[in-house]
Structure 1
């Protein structure tokens, strides 16, 4: 073969340059804005999906909705149950919502994009009832389940850290089953400092730990009460333990002596609400 008949060879950078001359490649996503992962948007948009989660958001005047995607069946059910829709929805096929959330998300034909809710300040916590404090619990399923139980027991607020805690969106919101709209979520930078402030404001801060000095059922509880829960495995951090006014345990009669953190929260809330006469 003669030299002039051979096709020229390009280095990798040269080939890329030749491709760039032809303009950008067409986008396969149809030009839709990218979503962060399968659940979050590229900005601070809160993703809400599922019947209870979205209808609770629709009923919350403090929640600003940006977009609402409904399947025909979901739109029909909202109309039948006379649930007010505060925003013009976009009627879509179920597979579009599947594409946004992934095939494992049980969305029931509802998906909303919304603004985050405001986080109250620690000094606005009411001086009565029960508050939950979460020490670096990172699993969104657990936090969502805790929020659902908190709503059932009329918890005044949940205090959590800005870091080492899941965002109030996606799986957490779905697991909370609407409780995200009912229980204020207070985000703090330093948990020990927040507990110290709560102690100074008259809260009884009770840390829950398997190595606690006494059983929670035997502690003389008083309002306002803050129940402090640690992450599974690690439990409460040492500084958190030291800052709580009491560290108590949950005694179990069976062979297994520990509970999943969301189950421990339910039991602690039941004991606390019963002892304080809140039931």
Structure 2
């Protein structure tokens, strides 16, 4: 039986798959009306990877992608099997001595654009994994992959059955669990983030669930100097993750 096919669209998402798992690509559809340098370079890369190329008009590409924001590129791909658990990821990081563990935990992020942006930020800041609960999270789909610009292929995204229990397991591994809350007294900039840490953020509006907040070792806030009360979750993730990266880079 052949593997079920899904789609990726946009230059970044498809290019990363060509680079990391070229054998999983069934075919690449591209808009022949687009003849700029970026498209020419992309087609050359796809040919070098041995991908089957199919000329498709804008209407067909939009139909395949389920979105008009395909940039003239859509790939039909085999879904990649989940090859690791959270324990596997963390064990590999520790065994390869890739530095102190850095995990992003998202509680209640259901918008694929927000998840894609969070994955992109996590990749840029060097996070080792992104964790979310199965019952209150969006899964990986074409929109997430497009927004993530390839990070959906490089950052493990692990959906767990019981988030509070998973946070407890992280604490058993001596990973400091830090949640964000507008009501916290201490700022993210007051903490030493050079130690192994899991940064927990909730969706804008509702924030973290009460049980998630109670499970954290500490709650901190992101200072807000203007009129708005909170940041988009992907922006907040960037603030927290890059503060950890800044401290670890000193």
TM-score normalised per structure 2: 0.85
Distance of 1:155 and 1:105 partners within structure 2: 31
Contact 2:65 2:74 in 1 (8 A): no
Superposed, which structure 2 residues align to 1:63-102 within 5 Å?
64-72=24-32, 73=34, 76-80=40-44, 84-102=48-66
Superposed, which structure 2 residues align to 1:100-115 within 5 Å?
100-102=64-66, 104-114=67-77, 115=79
Distance of 1:45 and 1:231 partners within structure 2: 30
* Change in 2 beyond 3 A, CA 1:83/1:161: farther
Distance of 1:79 and 1:45 partners within structure 2: 21
1:236 to 208, 224, 234: 208
Per-residue deviation, 1:81: 5.6
Corresponding residue number in structure 2 for 1:215? 187
Per-residue deviation, 1:183: 0.9
Distance of 1:76 and 1:177 partners within structure 2: 19
Q: Secondary structure at the match of 2:110?
A: coil
Structure 2: stretches of 5+ with no match in the other structure: 95-99
Structure 1: stretches of 5+ with no match in the other structure: 1-42
Aligned-residue CA RMSD (Å): 2.3
Distance of 1:117 and 1:154 partners within structure 2: 23
Distance of 2:105 and 2:47 partners within structure 1: 33
Corresponding residue number in structure 1 for 2:119? 147
Matched, 1:250 2:226: no
Per-residue deviation, 1:242: 1.1
* Change in 2 beyond 3 A, CA 1:61/1:81: closer
1:123 to 49, 69, 87: 87
Per-residue deviation, 1:244: 1.1
* Structure index of larger Rg: 1
Matched, 1:273 2:238: no
Per-residue deviation, 1:53: 0.8
Between 1:52-61 and 1:160-169, the stretch displaced more is 160-169
CA distances 1:211-230 after superposition (whole Å, capped 9, x unpaired)? 22411111233422111110
Query: Matched residue pairs, number?
Result: 235
Distance of 2:205 and 2:46 partners within structure 1: 45
Contact 1:122 1:194 in 2 (8 A): no
